[in-house]
A and B are shown apart, each in its own frame.
Chain A
Amino acid sequence: MSRWLGPVLVLLACAAGVHALTLNVAPGFIMARAMDALAQRGVTLHDFTAPRRISPQTQAVVRSSPDLYYALCRYDLGQNGVDQAAEQRLAVAMAKWGDYQSLSFFDARTNNFATVRGTGKAVAVNLLPPGSAPQKGAIVSPSAKGVILIRRLAPTRELFDQAAASVGDECRFLAESGPQTGLSR
């Protein structure tokens, strides 16, 4: 009997370890795949992508609502090729909309780490890389990569077209090397 004790303990240890590892890895894995899928569907890095109205033919994400206007921006605040001494940030703006709208931020593990409601008004915030010191009017991202999502209440085609025509949505990457240097997109 004792000869099986070792293998049984190894089996239990492996099962518990892999169980925990799988749960830990799954959200990041799923989010990474979703971001790849969004990229393939034309959601660009550091810019809000003008969406198509959600329908069975255009949906890219599970449980999208056909009653909402969604504009997506992928971001990466840890890009290679950027001066490592430069202070990276993302300037994010949501144009005014007469009905409900919100600006929501999701990290690389799918957490909705911030949401700003903007019903009837415009909103502008800066998104800072992980580990940044808190600043007024800024949000610190828990991960270098993530997704920003504008939702606007637009349940009809006419309202969707109006939402899509809104001017002023912005998701712009900035790398600031010093007080005298310019900002690069």
Chain B
Amino acid sequence: MIRRIFAYLLAVAAGCAIGIGSALGMAGLLPGTNSLAFGDVDVGGWRSDFATGSEAADAYTRARVARHGLLALAKSEAVYFTRATDDDGQPLREACTYRLTTGAMPAGWWSITLYNGDSMLPDNDDEALSINAGQDMAARIGDEIVGQGGTATIAPRRPEGRGLWISSRNAGRFDLTLRLYMPDDALLADPAGTLDPPQIERLACEDAA
């Protein structure tokens, strides 16, 4: 009888542990879980959840966004794409230098910002953690897109010259978030056919890894 009671107690404890662990894991809330493995949109490695911020988001999306994208806007106002790998599929790392190339963006305004593995801005004072539509990369006047994009360097130190720079100093492994404010209707309807995804070319690494 005692063994039977013990078996039930063990079943309850194990069931609770499995339930919590599986929920946190499937929602991307466990430490070390790659939250970028989720999402319903993938354009050239840039992943997004168009359900972000809305009540239509399922329980997994809502839990993950609460952790990694708290206070994010619904897609009618802004969409967010995130990418953690370069064009060769390798993780983005502080030790490497990358060339970021953008095209025209289907939105009223856009920016690309670097975040560390905790979804926070890396701890440095370079004041170079993002680039945006106002920096002569891919501007538009009214509804007309003017200019076809440009390039920026992602590196732990400011590169020589006057080009745009995103600092990865103290970021460790990092990812980039592309914000598209006031997105075009076409982007929401057909993201893969509308967004020209920014390219991330690895130029060099300071370590052998």
One of A57-65, A121-129, A168-176 at the interface? A57-65
| Bound-complex Cα distance A67 to B73 (A) | 16
Which residues of chain B (6-28) have a CB below 8 Å from chain A? 7-8, 10-12, 14-16, 18-20, 22-24, 27
**What residue in chain A is nearest B10 (Cβ atoms)?**
A7
Query: When A and B form their complex, what is the total count of cross-chain residue pairs whose Cβ atoms lie within 8 Å?
Result: 174
Are A115's CB and B63's CB within 8 A? no
Answer whether residue B83 sits at the interface, using C-beta atoms and an 8 A cutoff.
no
List residues of chain A with CB within 8 A of the CB of B8. 6-7, 10
Answer whether residue B53 sits at the interface, using C-beta atoms and an 8 A cutoff.
yes
**What residue in chain B is nearest A30 (Cβ atoms)?**
B66
| Bound-complex Cα distance A4 to B22 (A) | 23
Are A61's CB and B71's CB within 8 A? yes
Chain B interface: which size bin?
A: 35 or more
Answer whether residue A71 sits at the interface, using C-beta atoms and an 8 A cutoff.
no
How far in angstroms is the closest Cβ of chain A from B42?
Answer: 19
With A15-B22, A27-B66 known as contacts, the answer to whether A112 contacts B121 (CB < 8 A) is no
Answer whether residue B132 sits at the interface, using C-beta atoms and an 8 A cutoff.
yes
Are B19's CB and A56's CB within 8 A? no
Are B11's CB and A8's CB within 8 A? yes
With A16-B19, A23-B59, A110-B65 known as contacts, the answer to whether A153 contacts B70 (CB < 8 A) is no
Q: Which residues of A contact B (CB under 8 A)?
A: 3-4, 6-8, 10-24, 26-27, 30-31, 34, 54-57, 59, 61-67, 100, 102, 104, 106, 109-113, 115, 117, 147, 149, 151, 153, 155
What are 17 A-to-B residue pairs whose CB atoms are below 8 Å? A6-B8, A10-B8, A11-B18, A20-B19, A22-B19, A23-B59, A24-B59, A30-B63, A31-B66, A55-B125, A61-B71, A63-B70, A66-B129, A111-B53, A117-B182, A151-B73, A153-B109
Q: Which residues of B contact A (CB under 8 A)?
A: 4, 7-8, 10-12, 14-16, 18-20, 22-24, 27, 29, 53-55, 57, 59-60, 62-63, 65-74, 76-77, 80, 108-109, 111, 113, 115, 118-125, 127, 129-130, 132, 134, 177, 179, 181-182
